[in-house]
Amino acid sequence: MATTWFSFFLSLLLLLHGNFAQQRYQQQYGQQCQINRLNPQEPSFRMQAEAGVTEFFDTNNQQFQCAGVSLFRHVIQSRGLLLPSYTNSPLLAYVVQETGRGFYGIMNSGCPETFQSSQQTQQRIRGRTFQDRHQKIEQFRQGDIMAFPAGAAHWLYNEGNEEVVLVVLEDASNNANQLDQTSRRFFIAGNPQQGQQQQGSQYGGSTMRREQFRSGNVFNGFDIEILSEAFGVDRETARRLQGQDDMRGHIVSVQEGLRVIRPPFSQEQDSQQEQGQYGRGPMTNGIEETICTAKVRENIDNPARADIYNPRAGRLSTVNSFTLPILSFLRLSAARGVLYRNSMMAPHWYENAHSIIYITRGESRIQIVDHRGRAVLDDQVREGQCLVVPQNYAIVKQAGNEGCEWIAFNTNDNAMINTLSGRTSAIRGLPLDVIANAYQISRDEARRLKFNRDETLIFRSTRRSPRSYERVIGLVDEANSTSIA
C-alpha cells in the first residue's frame, strides 16, 4: 500500500513539474512568437580580423528570438585560420562560396589521435625526435553542410586562393544548451576582442553587440603559475596561451600555409562513402564508435542527390538524421533549394520546425501567412538576406528572372513538410465533395483544383507573356540546360 501511494505521489510530482516547466517556457518565450510582420534581414554588426570578417544578423530581432537561433557569416581569406573555440549550442555551417575549400577539425576529449606522421616526416626539436599526431581532420568544399556539436572545440582553415564564405546557424534554444537563450563562444586561443568592431553603418545602425567575439580566450582568466604547472611549460609560454598581446582577432593569417597531417581530398571523400557513418578502424570502446568517428559533413549541392527534381523548375535536397545521423543529437537539419527563373515552390508549411532561410543566389518573391490568414511577409528576398519562417506558418516562393538558390536550416532533425497544392498536398487528399462544399465551387472546379498540378513541390511557371512563342521555347530550353552547382 505504501509503495502504491509513493508511486502515485511520484507520478503527481513529475506531472506538476512538467506543467510548471511548460508554463515557465510559455511565460518566458511564448510572447516572442507573436509575430505580426516579418522582414528580410541583413547583417547588422561585423567583427573584422586579420584574415577575415564575421558578420552577424541581429539576434534581438523578433523573428530570431521566436526561433531561438542566431545566424552569422564568416568570410575567411586565403590562408586564414578560424581560431579554435567551442560553443554552448550546436552549430550547422554551410559553405556558400563557389571556389571555397579547406579543412577543419573537431576535438573531442578521449578520442584517439588517429592522424599521425610517418618516420620519414618526423622532426627534431631540441635534439629529440618528434612525431606529430592529432585527431581526425576533414576537408570541405562548396555545398557542404558541417555539424558541430555543442561543447566540441573546432577550428577551420582556408587553403584555397579565394575567400571562403560560411553561413552558420547557432541553436541557443537546443536542449544541449543549459545556460540561457544566448549563444556563447569560448575561444581557446588568440584574443578575439582585439578585432575591429563595426556596427550597422551599411545596414541601418543596429545597436546589437556580440559578446562572444568581444572577449579573450578562456586561458586569459587563469593564473599564469597555474597554467605553467598544468602544461609543464615556462611562464612565458603560459603567458602566450592567454593571448593578451595578440592583436590579430579571431581569424588569423598563416603566411607559410598550415602544415598538418591529412589524406588527399579525393581519397578522404571515397573513404567516407565506403565507410558510411562510422570508420572501420580498430575500436576500443563504444565512445570511439559513436562520437569520434561519426560523420559530420554532407554535400547537398550535387543535383544527382536531389530529393525532389523537376528538370524545368528546379530541385530540393535535404540532409537530416537519416542521411547524417549526428543530426539526431543536434536536433537540426537543412535543405538546399534551387528554383529556375519564374518557377515556384508550392505553398507549404513545416509541421515540426522553424525554418531559417538564407538566399545564396538570385532573388525570390516570398509570401508567408500566419494562423489568422494574414500575410506577415510579401516581399522580394535577395542574395545575402535571410528570414525566419515560424513553425506551421504557410510559405510560398516564386523565383525571379535570374532564378533563386537558398539554404534553409530547420530546428528539427527530421523537419516534415506539408504542402497545400500538388500531388501530395492536403487539398489532393480531400474528397471532391468536401472541396466543393468547403470552397463553394462546382464539382468540376473542385476536380480541377485537386488534379491540375501533378508535381509534388516544385512547379514550372505556366504564365505566358506577350513575347513570341519562340522566346518562350528558348526560356524552357534554357531552364532545361541550366546546371546550377
Q: Is the pLDDT of residue 259 over 70?
A: yes
Confidence of residue 271 (pLDDT cuts 50, 70, 90): very low
* Residue 287 reports pLDDT greater than 60: no
Give the cell for residue 165: 564564405
User: In the predicted model, is pLDDT for residue 226 greater than 90?
Assistant: yes
Q: Average the pLDDT over 137-148 and give the result.
A: 93
d(CA 84, CA 343): 42
56 backbone dihedrals φ, ψ, rounded to 5°: -110, 140
* pLDDT tens for each residue of 428-482: 999 999 999 999 999 999 999 999 999 999 998 776 433 333 333 333 344 344 3
Q: Rounded distance, CA 461 to CA 476, Å?
A: 10
* pLDDT surpassing 90 at residue 396: yes
Asked whether the beta carbons of 35 and 62 are under 8 A apart, the reply is yes
Cα separation, 148 vs 173, in Å, equals 15
Taking the CA atoms of 201, 207, 208 and 209 in sequence, report the sign of the dihedral they define: positive
Find where cell 537539419 sits: 333
Query: 81-95, 133-147, 313-327: which has the minimum mean pLDDT?
Result: 133-147
The reported pLDDT for the residue numbered 364 is: 97
Of 191, 174, 210, which Cα lies nearest the Cα of 88? 174
- For residue 183, what pLDDT is reported? 86
**Which of 434, 446, 51, 104 has its CA nearest to residue 253?**
51
CA neighbours closer than 13 Å in the CB half-sphere of residue 388: 26
* Radius of gyration of the chain measured on its C-alpha atoms: 26
Q: What is the pLDDT of residue 101?
A: 78
The one-letter amino acid at 262: R
What pLDDT is attached to residue 298? 95
Amino acid at 377: L
Quick one: CA torsion of 466, 469, 475, 481, rounded to 10 degrees? 170
Average the pLDDT over 154-174 and give the result: 94
Q: Report how far apart, in Å, the C-alpha atoms of 479 and of each of 265, 447, 467, 483 are.
A: 32, 30, 17, 9
pLDDT > 50? residue 369: yes
Helices then strands, counting H and E runs in the chain, come out as 10, 28
Closest by alpha carbon to 402, among 309, 322, 314? Answer: 314
- Global pTM reads 0.82
- Please check the confidence at residue 40 and state whether its pLDDT lies above 90: yes
**Of 243, 240, 216, 217, whose CA–CA distance to 228 is shortest?**
240
Mean pLDDT, the chain, whole residue set? 81
CA dihedral 364, 369, 370, 371 (to 10 degrees): -150
Cα separation of 232 and 240, whole Å? 14
Closest CA to 102 of 277, 317, 251: 251
Burial environment of residue 353 by CB neighbours within 10 A (0 to 12, 13 to 18, 19 or more): buried
Cell numbers for 105:
577539425
Instruction: Tell me what the mean pLDDT of segment 401-419 comes to.
Output: 97
CB 332 within 8 A of CB 147: yes
- Structure-block grid coordinates of residue 106: 573537431
| Residue among 459, 324, 442, 471 at smallest CA distance from 398 | 459
Separation between Cα atoms, residue 443 and residue 449, nearest integer Å: 10
